[in-house]
Chains A and B, each alone.
Chain A
């Protein structure tokens, strides 16, 4: 019986905003916006206190809350929350991106704003719960719960194909998680507990069964990541979601999948993880190259960014399944990097879309002259996304490639340099498609869109103050991680080293 207020406060604080919103009239839009923005900012503030209380040198779970929840008839389900090096950065990413996304909706969402904000804050609760939960059942509850608000966000405020996209998103994710549910039940019944740290300490799952359990968890997470070939829901969901939804979807929801791999698959089934590492890394490499090639052929900016996510998350997966310290650390940092860069990209796409109502970049061109600030910001984010040294993407990808190279040495888990070698091609391809898109939009002769906008009686304007406020925090971190990533790695490293020890023991077998 432990209780620590802070993690619970972070997780459930957005509900305070939801409660207040219930009592505000839907017409009072200004108040609604401020209430939810301030709630999200306060949550971010509390999570900073959490960071300050967090002991980076301690690899174990910290600030643990562990209360019995369902304990009848041999059930051993507990309300078990805690923070460690694997989750601290993702928690901060969530609380950081939520207010930014909310701020971006002030001009984008005009209909039923109150309900939008309620769903959004509820989504934040679900996501934070996913990263905090240390009991498999509790995790499952949060994991499934995130589907509901996201489903509404896409289905109500999305683009023309929103209903199709939202149902596809829901069913795909649910298909995976149901198999995971059976695996969770199997673990709970046979190991007598649902608590993840206890299950890891207990160990002793026979290798044959580990295979099945690993697969059941892996399918659930691989759909969420998404890994090739389970990715087909992602372009639809991303393209149809409203901007803020895309930011959170790319920034945080996809990370729930990769996080699931590090949190559950690797430590719970280490032998199976070693066995499947070449396969998972192979799929990751396919995803990297496939995502990059498909991105190149997109004409819809949002779709391009969506497919580039498949490529970037391939890097994360490659790093994780290198099963060494560098790979996993790089993978976790790259989760954050992708959240920042892709989040920023979606925001920027949303900003131009609000003015032009098209995302087809064939009609764009020469925007640099008209929108120099926008062009500069976009350039930084584009370069960050393709991994230019000095910006955040490079740090993550480089560390991952180092890890994959190390794991590729003879006798190591991957046992071939091809993984690292081929995925390096993905970096080059990223430069091609990102720069191609940038060039199409900002350089060259003025595109037809400028004329179209004029015909509608508008003039393309540069970023507004609010938009700059939305994007600057992301830029700060893009530079910070790119130039001085040490404090970030310091948060992750001790826990990852602990995990690697477990994995190395499994490799000996």
Chain B
């Protein structure tokens, strides 16, 4: 391991060490004072974020070109670390309130983020797979974290079985691609394909299987079946983290692998991706209408948003557009992450023990009992719909631009029509909060309130000044 290797993987290494130490340190922290563990975990994330920020603009390869550091990986890593911080800040009070506070929670979050960050840096399909497992296994445990609670256990086991199943698709895909090209290095695959020495049908089959595997991770239709059940059963703080973190990492891997390794077979993959995106938007949004439980509604909404992001990615084979497509997708992921954590924080605030307080009708009268929270939730719902002045609108427009530019007008039209459908169920929550009467109980809790408050402000303010974010996202290019 030389200097360059170390440099390339520095944030991942630091966070791994921190997470491992945290496991040990946690043993000596009093059971009543697990807040200290949370703070230590947050410090670790912040430290790693600092390192990542200092790496902005650097590009390098490490470990025999198995991992890469570039603008893309840095940007997405920072976004993941941000998700980790949010995940901890909404979990802290919630775990205590639900009586499931244990120190491992925070270490598991850190390990999962390590896997996600490794995913963004992977330059070899083997690393992609290792990262996939590393990010998934802690999530399986986290999903079942409220154990003895049957629905949480169900959620964990469901997520594990389907996750393992989808993981095997990825492995099989990697094997086929290796068979087709004789290499697992992403750059090597592209080079072999460009030289014309690859076995194209085999490579197509391999790439399709990899797509299936990641389709599971990002919850794209028709691989979305697990999402509502897992999201509903898992502790809400885990769901929030999963909805953002796992999605970001899944898309990061998808973008990295497809736009670097498979541009040569883009003409075959593009129609598949387009249909997948269209189906995901339609199914996610239509199914969300029928939901009565807020966690399930947001789960379907997260499926729908995976569809929107996938839509941007359809144009990945067009060299003139691929950079725009990737920055549009990660810009949208930023907007989604911000909105996502804000809305889940409010869900947590209303949740009571034994799964009470999660029905949409439990939000009736929120405006009277807690006007600020109702306004914040309205902001998040409008952002998810894509109504100004919110970040969601800017993100959506960025996406649609790429799609229109790529010439997929029909897909863009499906995109806007499904947005219209989505307006219906997002508005319904606003109706319930503002126009119906009820007495919802909210739990005042510092970190939680700070999270949704800050996210609501960010959602609105950044919609007026998206320039800096835009500029940053458009520089997040792959090497």
Contacts and interface: CB of A to CB of B under 8 A. Distances in A.
Interface string A133-146: 00001001110110
A178 B417 contact: yes
B412 to A, nearest CB: 5
Interface in B383-420: 387-389, 393-394, 397, 400-401, 404-405, 409, 412-413, 416-417, 419-420
Contact of A144 (B388, B409, B420, B424): B388
A162 interface: yes
B434 interface: yes
B467 interface: yes
Contact of B404 (A140, A142, A179, A186): A186
B470 A188 contact: no
Contacts of A189: 401, 404-405
Interface string A171-202: 10011001101100110110000000000000
A284 B14 CA distance: 69
B112 interface: no
A189 B427 CA distance: 31
Interface stretch (A65-73, A221-229, A436-444): A65-73
A399 B466 CA distance: 46
A108 interface: no
A178 B388 CA distance: 13
Contacts of B389: 141, 145
Interface stretch (A28-36, A148-156, A466-474, A487-495): A148-156
B435 A73 contact: no
B324 interface: yes
Chain B binding surface SS class: helix
A75 B471 CA distance: 11
Contact of A156 (B387, B424, B435): B435
Interface in A300-336: none
B474 interface: yes
B401 A70 contact: no
Contacts of B394: 70
Contact of A162 (B397, B417, B435): B435
Nearest to A145: B388
Contact of B434 (A71, A75, A156, A179): A156
A47 B84 CA distance: 50
A162 B431 CA distance: 10
Contacts of B428: 167
Nearest to B464: A69
Given A141-B388, A178-B420, A185-B397, A70 B470 contact: yes
B423 interface: yes
A144 B467 contact: no
A188 B435 CA distance: 39
A175 B420 CA distance: 6
B474 A73 contact: yes
A388 interface: no
B387 A72 contact: no
Contacts of B467: 69-72
Interface residues of B, number: 32
Counting contact residues on chain A (CB < 8 A from B), the size range is 20 to 34
Contacts of B400: 181-182, 185
Interface string B311-342: 00000000000001001000000000000000
A163 interface: yes
A144 B388 CA distance: 6
A145 B428 CA distance: 18
A162 B435 CA distance: 9
Contact of A141 (B393, B419, B434): B393
Most buried by B among A174, A175, A179: A174
A266 B133 CA distance: 58
Contacts of B404: 182, 185-186, 189
A348 interface: no
A148 B387 contact: yes
Given A72-B467, A182-B404, A171 B423 contact: yes
Contacts of A73: 324, 327, 470, 474
A147 interface: yes
Contact of B423 (A142, A174, A182): A174
A178 B420 CA distance: 8
Contacts of B412: 182, 185
Interface in B410-451: 412-413, 416-417, 419-420, 423-424, 427-428, 431, 434-435
B400 to A, nearest CB: 6
B428 to A, nearest CB: 8
A170 interface: yes
A72 B435 contact: no
Given A178-B416, A178-B419, A155 B431 contact: yes
Contacts of B420: 171, 174-175, 178
B382 interface: yes
Contacts of A137: 397
Contacts of B474: 72-73
A147 B435 contact: no
Given A148-B382, A175-B420, A188 B401 contact: yes
A137 B394 CA distance: 10
A230 to B, nearest CB: 15
B407 to A, nearest CB: 10
A140 B387 CA distance: 10
B431 A163 contact: yes
6 contacts: A70-B394, A73-B327, A75-B401, A155-B431, A179-B416, A181-B400
Interface of B: 324, 327, 382, 387-389, 393-394, 397, 400-401, 404-405, 409, 412-413, 416-417, 419-420, 423-424, 427-428, 431, 434-435, 466-467, 470-471, 474
The 6 closest A-B pairs by CB, nearest first: A178-B416, A72-B470, A141-B388, A73-B474, A145-B388, A185-B404
